[in-house]
Amino acid sequence: MDDQDSNAVIGTDDELRNNFGEPMELALQKQLGTLDVHCKDFITRSPFLCIGTSDANGKADVSPRGDPPGFVQILDDNTIFIPDRPGNNRLDTMSNIIANSNVGIFFMVPGYEDTLRVNGKATIIKDKAILERCAVNRKVPTMGIMVEVSEAFLHCAKAIRRSKLWKADSQQDRKEMPTLAQMILEQVAEPEKPPTPEEVSEGDEFIEDNYKTGLY
């Protein structure tokens, strides 16, 4: 952005803090070093999380994980285990963890406006006893992500309330955008060779079939 005002860029912590002031004491005190009963209860109820990672150079990535509530195993007050399910084999999250073990996890529960944030260090684990506990439809995952928790804290509902995420009247009609297959095929196609309707249809069928047969 050539016309960006250089004074508009915040470059130091002091500049940042001067625009916001100090946090409330409770906002600092709520940060725990272990998982207490409320954090554990939240994780047990959560069917969905996002995990943030970065590679050795600091390139960041966020990836979703979802399963029936309780899919994240709580091994003790400082350790959780996230099973890995079949995906696209990009392996962005796990490759990043091998290069840089620091992770941030964001847990959500449908209908709950508050959320849970967990930070720690992760490793990729193939432990048969733990993996067998994570079986769904008798399918045992190949491996998973073990996280040594260093920070855990509940997050207020402002973002969810502003977004109206769980409000039925805020849901949008998925048909207002092209299908996932059409968008990806258009993104990878050469400009002079857009995907044909037949190719889009085949892509839609492949994705739906994979949802039915490839979740586990």
C-alpha to C-alpha distance for 103 and 97, rounded to whole angstroms: 8
Instruction: Report the predicted TM-score, pTM, of the whole model to 2 decimal places.
Output: 0.93
User: What's the pLDDT score for residue 72?
Assistant: 98
pLDDT in tens, the chain (216 residues): 566 666 789 999 999 999 998 888 888 889 999 999 999 999 999 999 999 999 999 999 999 999 999 999 999 999 999 999 999 999 999 999 999 999 999 999 999 999 999 999 999 999 999 999 999 999 999 999 999 999 999 999 999 999 999 999 999 999 999 999 999 999 999 999 999 999 999 999 999 999 999 999
User: What's the pLDDT score for residue 23?
Assistant: 87
Indicate the domain borders of the chain. Answer: 28-163, 172-213
Q: Give me the numbers of helices (H) and strands (E) for the chain, helices first please.
A: 8, 7
Decide which of 2.60.40.730, 2.30.110.10, 2.120.10.80, 1.10.10.10 is the CATH code for 28-163. Answer: 2.30.110.10
DSSP state of 130: H
C-alpha to C-alpha distance for 212 and 156, rounded to whole angstroms: 36
71 token code pair? 């899919």
3-state helix, strand, coil in the chain (%, to 5): 35, 25, 40
User: What's the pLDDT score for residue 2?
Assistant: 63
DSSP state of 175: G
Between helix 180-188 and helix 197-213 the angle, nearest 10°, is 120
